[in-house]
A and B are shown apart, each in its own frame.
Chain A
Amino acid sequence: MKEGVISPGGIGFDINCGMRLVKTDLTIKEVQPKIKDLIDEFFKTVPAGVGCKGFVKLNNSLFEEIMQSGSKWCVENGYGWKKDLERTEDYGTLKGADLQKVSQKARSRGINQLGTLGSGNHYLEVQVAHAEDIFDVETAKKMGIIEKNQVLVMLHCGSRGFGHQIATDYLKLFDKVMPQYNIKIPDRELSCAPFQSQEGQDYYAAMKCAGNMAYANRQVILHRIREGFGRVFKQDPEKLGLDLIYDCTHNLAREHKITVDGKKKKVLVHLKGATTSVGLGHERLTKLYKNIGSPIIIGGSMETGSYLLKGTKKAEEDTFGTTAHGSGRAMSRTQAKKSVRGENLQKSMEKKGIYVRGVSMSGLAEEAGFAYKEIDTVVGSLKKSGISEPIIKLRPIGNVKG
């Protein structure tokens, strides 16, 4: 970390984009008849798409609190349960966020976006853990997945325009100052500055503001998910067992201890489309998961399914304590749109038992299952390399697409 660099492009524009997985005590039998009501409810109450306004109205000082404390603010202000925090990476708060390092432009882009899903590959999905898809029964049980064919909800989103602007601001700054530090890189998008430089430290502190906004964004959406289930099933969300299983990021930089030649060394790991994977006992784990390892949520396409996995010691040794974050695209968006129309895809998915609503029909076509790599193969290679262990495969029954 003394000689290293920090790079906004190496973290991604959507700072602290991440995944959240919520369990319910309901089974597919109970949810399937009401899936349309549920998805329509989420489509209505969780704003998505280009230029959507968030459902949490903020003034400047509240927004500043969120930049500094993330999920903690939400739980203290009625958007969640206290126990959600120990089920969130970093307990939902990145320490060391500095408001002074955030531009006015970033603030104006972000202030109205708390409680928005976004667009592109961001989604809210209702899924089922079929009995035959549970590979690690014991760990699944510890996480509250006990019933046969239990229903879960997965969420994928980040820090919205706020994070995008912070990344852009610092990308431009690093592009400008890089020659002063004599740094040469093959791709300008990976512009960077020494981690210990003023610019490097400023970006790190601004990145944390966006990171906290993203944790808060996923936390307030979780609140909406609970309210939605409560309304549709006419029950108290607590009685429906809507516990958060985990929230993990895949676009962030974090200080991490690794062993090089037998010596412990602190490094700055850039996670861009990479999820933390650490084995049991690791210091990064929140108390709840100390004896399990880090939960890892890997999103597939909206047609094929996703996975919950756990971290391993092998990943700590081989891959700086990281693993994959999604199945990844195999086909360009233009190609996908040429291959299928959104309306047709929506109908064919419904026939397969997946009810999907999207803000944009062309956006929906871009996310078709065939445009993605086969999730089972991706997860298979993670298992084979020993950097994560599958717990459950989750299959979609309903999806709200940004």
Chain B
Amino acid sequence: MGNYRFLEHTADVMFEVNGKSLKEIFENAALATFEVQVDLKKVKRKVKKKIKLKNKDIGLLLFEFLEELIYLKDAKYLVFSKFKVSIKENLLGKRSQKGEFKLEANAEGEKIDPKRHELKTDVKAPTFHNFFLKKIKNNWKARVLLDI
């Protein structure tokens, strides 16, 4: 569905995303995280959840975004199949906020329904093992290992 690729890993799930923008990276990483857990095609877009996060470290911002989505799965029983993400870098303003990345995302999905959704494997958390998000020439690339 999205622009991501699962890599071989013996015990857990590792994926890589490539994109021209940070927006693409974040949206595709979120899709990959849910593809592990559910058949995305079966998740209707009934609920919209707004997520706002900020961090000076863009990698940590991605980590926290995925963490927030996993949290919503357990605490609110939500699975998502569509993400719209916007990321802005704060270049002006107060010194403490300068260089901060601000994320605003809309995650669309619905409450988990074991009868209709084809549920797969539960994701426990994103990990820092081999984790990276970096710009290579004009493209962004990220790698995430999910603990399952």
Q: Roughly how many angstroms separate A53 CA and B114 CA in the complex, as a whole number?
A: 11
Q: In the complex, which residues of chain A have a beta carbon less than 8 angstroms from the beta carbon of B87?
A: none
1/0 per residue, CB under 8 A from B, across A114-126: the answer is: 0000111000000
By the criterion CB–CB under 8 Å, are A334 and B8 in contact?
Answer: yes
Closest B residue to A160 using CB positions: B74
Say which residue of B77, B114, B124 sits within 8 Å of A359 (CB atoms).
B114
By the criterion CB–CB under 8 Å, are B128 and A188 in contact?
Answer: yes
By the criterion CB–CB under 8 Å, are A360 and B120 in contact?
Answer: yes
Q: Roughly how many angstroms separate A120 CA and B119 CA in the complex, as a whole number?
A: 12
Q: In the complex, which residues of chain A have a beta carbon less than 8 angstroms from the beta carbon of B64?
A: 172
| Stretch from B9-17, B19-27, B44-52, B97-105 at the A interface | B9-17
Q: In the complex, which residues of chain B have a beta carbon less than 8 angstroms from the beta carbon of A363?
A: 120-121
Q: In the complex, which residues of chain B have a beta carbon less than 8 angstroms from the beta carbon of A328?
A: 11
Count contacts between A and B, CB distance < 8 Å.
108
By the criterion CB–CB under 8 Å, are B73 and A187 in contact?
Answer: no
Q: Roughly how many angstroms separate A105 CA and B4 CA in the complex, as a whole number?
A: 28
1/0 per residue, CB under 8 A from B, across A126-141: the answer is: 0000000000000000
> Can you list 27 pairs linking A and B with CB atoms under 8 Å apart?
A13-B127, A49-B119, A50-B119, A50-B120, A51-B79, A53-B77, A105-B71, A109-B71, A109-B74, A119-B148, A120-B121, A120-B122, A164-B147, A172-B64, A187-B128, A189-B127, A189-B128, A189-B129, A189-B131, A191-B128, A329-B10, A360-B118, A360-B120, A360-B121, A362-B121, A363-B120, A366-B121
In the complex, given contacts A51-B77, A172-B60, A360-B121, what are 16 additional A-B residue pairs having Cβ atoms less than 8 angstroms apart? A13-B147, A14-B124, A14-B147, A50-B79, A50-B121, A51-B74, A51-B79, A51-B112, A105-B71, A105-B75, A108-B75, A119-B122, A187-B129, A332-B8, A332-B9, A363-B120
